[in-house]
Amino acid sequence: MYMLSNRDKITAPTYDRNLVWVVLMLLGLGLVMVYSASITYAGSSKAFGYQSTYFLVRHAVYLAVALCVAFVTFQIPMRFWQRVAPTLFIIGLVLLVLVLIPGIGRQVNGSQRWISLGFVNLQPSELMKLFATLYVADYTVRKAAFMDSITKSFVPMVAVMLLVGALLLREPDFGAFAVIAAITMAVLWLGGMNGRIFSVLIGLVNAGAILLVVSSPYRWQRVIGYMDPWADPYGKGYQLTNSLIAFGRGEWLGVGLGASVEKLDYLPESHTDFLFAIIAEELGFIGVAVVIALFAWIVMRAFAVGKEAMLYERHFSGLLAQGIGVWIGVQAIINMGVNMGLLPTKGLPLPLLSFGGSAIIANCIALAMLLRVDWENRRLAKGVSA
């Protein structure tokens, strides 16, 4: 691990405090809103021992672990992550295979996405988003000289992502695959992929997405349900209609923290995938606007940090930073779009806010890496080696 000399300690620039505070604001808001959204659900369920603080305590533990892991991650130079990126990606593939094995993978609500570790459940797809971002950034740098070649850059990456997609769709977890596909395409484009080849890639992705929806009655029903949820408000449109009611009740300033009605067993997954709807109901348009603004700031900051790294010819770090920005931005847009009825219902947590240990830890590790990229940029600006 990289250790600072006495000279480095004197001249080393500070970290990005604004980024840290924005992340902490979202994490803190998430802790409060998870408790607010789950208090009735946990307190009235025998499965959680009728403990209203069940999800609050677990989420607080997840946050503590995530922040500790993020602190350790920040200490590690980016050259280490570039070196281990392929290995981590292989580990991610192994985990995606393991979760599909009966007896190892745990099934919840018809999806087999978790590996039970006894005291906690591990969700490999969340870690795979991180590993895929690292891998595609490293791959793009290694194949920089062949970005105009279909056989040397395009085909290998498509083959790898098809493998990832096949494993994720077996769970099924279409949302995670959509996020990983978006990260991959964005990083390849930012890394200089030939425009014609990239156009072919976009066409294939769109065709594949349409084929997956049309060939699956389950996904097709979700698309139809989201287009007109009020046609079947007690069936396939139930979750979305209640989410929209929550947005309507929130109006400008919200009904007040803890005063949500939809969380009273009306809106399913109110502390996970539909937490944004509870934020809208309790904190209103102002709360929604603040959350969107904070996410937008993180995304813009990630791209700025990545651009600066590129100026120092730190291409892996730059692409990784921008890939993290795409990850956080795309996943936030999908989750918020689903909550507002702008996109088909899809089980995807809101980054940094929704309940879920694997997601919180993966998000915090990624943002710690972004913070490290910026820190190394500042060192180079001061004339200190990264």
267-309, pLDDT tens digit by residue?
999 999 999 999 999 999 999 999 999 999 999 999 999 999 9
What's the confidence (pLDDT) of residue 1?
42
What's the confidence (pLDDT) of residue 247?
97
Asked whether 320 and 305 are in contact (CB, 8 A), the reply is no
20, 143, 220 from 247: Cα distances, Å: 29, 46, 25
What's the confidence (pLDDT) of residue 6?
46
User: Residue by residue, what is the 3-state secondary structure of the chain?
Assistant: CCCCCHHHHHHCCCCCHHHHHHHHHHHHHHHHHHHHHHHHHHHCCHHHCCCCCHHHHHHHHHHHHHHHHHHHHHCCCHHHHHHHHHHHHHHHHHHHHHCCCECCEEEECCEEEEEECCCCEECHHHHHHHHHHHHHHHHHHHCHHHCCCHHHHHHHHHHHHHHHHHHHHHCCCHHHHHHHHHHHHHHHHHCCCCHHHHHHHHHHHHHHHHHHHHHCHHHHHHHHHHHCHHHCCCCCCHHHHHHHHHHHHHCCCCCCCCCCCCCCCCCCCCCCCCHHHHHHHHHHHHHHHHHHHHHHHHHHHHHHHHHHHHHCCCHHHHHHHHHHHHHHHHHHHHHHHHHCCCCCCCCCCCCCCCCCHHHHHHHHHHHHHHHHHHHHHHHHHCCCCC
What's the confidence (pLDDT) of residue 108?
77
Place 212 in a pLDDT band, splitting at 50, 70 and 90. confident
Asked whether 294 and 25 are in contact (CB, 8 A), the reply is yes
Place 229 in a pLDDT band, splitting at 50, 70 and 90. confident
Nearest to 350 by CA among 264, 286, 285, 291: 291
353-363, pLDDT tens digit by residue?
999 899 999 99
151-193, pLDDT tens digit by residue?
887 888 889 989 999 999 998 888 999 999 999 999 999 998 8
Q: Averaged over 313-327, what is the pLDDT?
A: 97
What's the confidence (pLDDT) of residue 7?
43
What's the confidence (pLDDT) of residue 13?
62
Percent of the chain with pLDDT over 70: 96
β-strand partners of 111: 108
298-314, pLDDT tens digit by residue?
999 999 999 999 999 99
Place 386 in a pLDDT band, splitting at 50, 70 and 90. low
Q: Averaged over 238-243, what is the pLDDT?
A: 93
Q: Averaged over 351-379, what is the pLDDT?
A: 96
Residue 11 has pLDDT above 60, yes or no: no
19-23, 146-150, 211-215, 222-226 — which one is most confidently predicted on average? 19-23
Predicted model pTM: 0.93
What's the confidence (pLDDT) of residue 213?
75
Measured between alpha carbons, how far is 361 from 375 in angstroms, rounded to an integer? 21
What's the confidence (pLDDT) of residue 119?
77
Query: How many CB atoms within 10 Å of residue 109?
Result: 8
What's the confidence (pLDDT) of residue 207?
84
Q: Averaged over 127-141, what is the pLDDT?
A: 97
**Range with the poorest average pLDDT among 14-18, 117-121, 255-259:** 117-121
Residue 205 has pLDDT above 90, yes or no: no
What is the rounded end-to-end Cα distance, in angstroms, of the chain? 13
Asked whether 330 and 179 are in contact (CB, 8 A), the reply is yes
Residue 225 has pLDDT above 80, yes or no: no
Measured between alpha carbons, how far is 217 from 235 in angstroms, rounded to an integer? 15
Measured between alpha carbons, how far is 76 from 263 in angstroms, rounded to an integer? 41
What's the confidence (pLDDT) of residue 44?
86
Percent of the chain with pLDDT over 90: 66
Q: Work out the mean pLDDT of the chain and round it to a whole number.
A: 90
What's the confidence (pLDDT) of residue 49?
81
Place 333 in a pLDDT band, splitting at 50, 70 and 90. very high
What's the confidence (pLDDT) of residue 130?
97
